[in-house]
Amino acid sequence: MYHTYKNGFIEVVCGPMFAGKTEELIRRIKRLEFAKQNVLVFKPAIDKRYSTKPEIVSHNLSKKPSIVVSASNEILRYVKKETHAVVIDEAQFFDQGIVDIAETLADQGLRVIVGGLDRDFRGEPFGPMPELLARAEFVTKLTAICVKSGLPATRTQRIINGNPANYNDDTILVGALESYEPRARQYHEVPGKDDAS
């Protein structure tokens, strides 16, 4: 037990790409730091889009130092008695064990803030995110702006050579503007989805 008081909880910040998830995590980190809280920030080793340094970086290039881990169980190694909060970015890329890690830390009295894509490019629940959403005390669902319609975008459209990616393409392709666009439900295209179901 890290703390003698029980005030831990899980909060999830989710939405499609370009919705400002990492920017929101950075905002919350700054508030915690202002309140003199000891915060640990983690990101998965797979995410090297904007920086090869140990830092989380938003699409508009706001940054915060982070610890890079390859597997969720590595997170526990870094948590100390004086840690108040743990922030985990790009949680969809972690193994399913991230759910138990989040629960364990919250049960020990820590504030656990998790950011990630709630859906993959197919529009389906992404990795451990559905279970994290179900277990969280607080959920913030952000939207982007659809590049086709200007409507609120809740989906992430993958583009390959100017065309929508096929349903059977790999789920994980780490990229940014060159590979993805935010889309509203009505403008989200996944060729081959009907064949796969």
Q: Which residues contact 179 (CB under 8 A, 6 or more apart)?
A: 158, 159, 160, 173
Which amino acid is located at 192 in the chain?
Answer: G
Which amino acid is located at 111 in the chain?
Answer: R
Is 137 a residue of the active site? no
> Which of 163, 143, 151, 162 shows the shortest CA–CA distance to 187?
151
Rg (the chain; Cα; Å): 17
- Determine contact, residues 15/142, Cβ cutoff 8 Å: yes
Annotated catalytic residue, options 90, 103, 124, 131: 90
The pair phi, psi for residue 54, each rounded to 5°, is -75, 85
| Cα–Cα distance, 143 to 152 (Å, whole number) | 6
Q: Which residues contact 88 (CB under 8 A, 6 or more apart)?
A: 41, 42, 43, 75, 94, 98, 102, 112, 113, 114, 115
Tell me which residues are annotated as active site: 90
